[in-house]
A = this chain, B = another copy of it.
């Protein structure tokens, strides 16, 4: 089957972002190993530029725009991490960026997006369509739309996380039994699962969703792009995309073994654990993979696994709520 992205696209993306994206460390913690009864390697994308993996895809997309496209600027919608990724990449490349953000985005994500130099257009998550606003803006100004996950360059860029993971695990002399990745629209999951399993077909790959946002799990079962119930809420604001992408879904169906779900309480516990034991700041959605491992969704005893901590942009109020859980 032909996908929108190939393994070569991911290695090409890695060359484009080299020296600009952080090669995030693969960390290990004795207490976590003991708790899991195995060996857990943490790919800390929280330490990526903008505090989340999103810079990888955004820079890969924006750097490949033509000079004319660059002049006309870019527009994107995002609750926060993609917003910051696009804003930071645009800033580095001298491109004007407008970001369409829900009014209830975490303040830290809004502030940072502004700080990277982007213009923000707020919308009401329940009464307005971010897509309509974005398409209209693009028609009016000629700005290029930068999707948050359903785009070949975005997927390839996020996939570089998986390339680094495999190389870093090899450098440690480790064979990974499994990888756990937080899953929203599937940009990180599709790119990273392709990067890992093309090289390591025997490594199990698990995507992790919030329990009321199990659109990917249900899409795996039905084969269609299943949508979430728009009235549902979760503290995992970075994983609330309405359905898996047209491009990401087929890739995930090939390379992902199983889609797991976690509750908000399990996300809170993982954020607290990361703070207390790992000394890392992780946002609820970014901790979904860790939450699944800590909650024992898959038995990892005696296994060597990797967990991607995908982002760390969280408001103080939510962080304190997690510490008190």
The chain A residues found within 8 Å of chain B, CB to CB, are 22, 25, 27-30, 46-47, 49, 51, 88, 108, 275-282, 312, 316, 319-320, 323-324
**For A51, A279, A320, which residue has the most chain B Cβ atoms within 10 angstroms?**
A279
- Return A82 CB to nearest CB of chain B, in Å: 17
A27 contact from B25, B29, B30, B88, Cβ within 8 A: B25
Query: Is B27 within 8 A of A47, CB to CB?
Result: yes
Q: Which B residues are CB-close (under 8 A) to A30?
A: 49, 88
A279-B279 contact given A30-B49, A320-B320, A323-B320, CB 8 Å threshold: no
Listed by A's residue number, 29 A-B pairs whose Cβ atoms lie within 8 Å are: A22-B28, A25-B25, A25-B27, A27-B47, A29-B47, A30-B49, A30-B88, A46-B279, A47-B278, A47-B279, A47-B280, A51-B277, A51-B279, A108-B276, A275-B281, A275-B319, A279-B280, A279-B281, A279-B282, A279-B312, A280-B280, A280-B281, A281-B281, A316-B320, A316-B323, A316-B324, A319-B323, A320-B320, A320-B323
Chain copies in the assembly?
A: 2
Q: A22-B28, A30-B88 are in contact. List 11 more A-B contacts (CB 8 A).
A: A27-B47, A46-B279, A47-B278, A47-B279, A275-B281, A275-B319, A279-B312, A316-B323, A319-B323, A320-B320, A320-B323
Instruction: Using CB atoms, name the residue of chain B closest to A283.
Output: B279
CA distance A47 to B324 in the complex (A): 22
- Return A57 CB to nearest CB of chain B, in Å: 17
Instruction: Using CB atoms, name the residue of chain B closest to A25.
Output: B25
CA distance A27 to B25 in the complex (A): 8
Q: Which B residues are CB-close (under 8 A) to A320?
A: 316, 320, 323
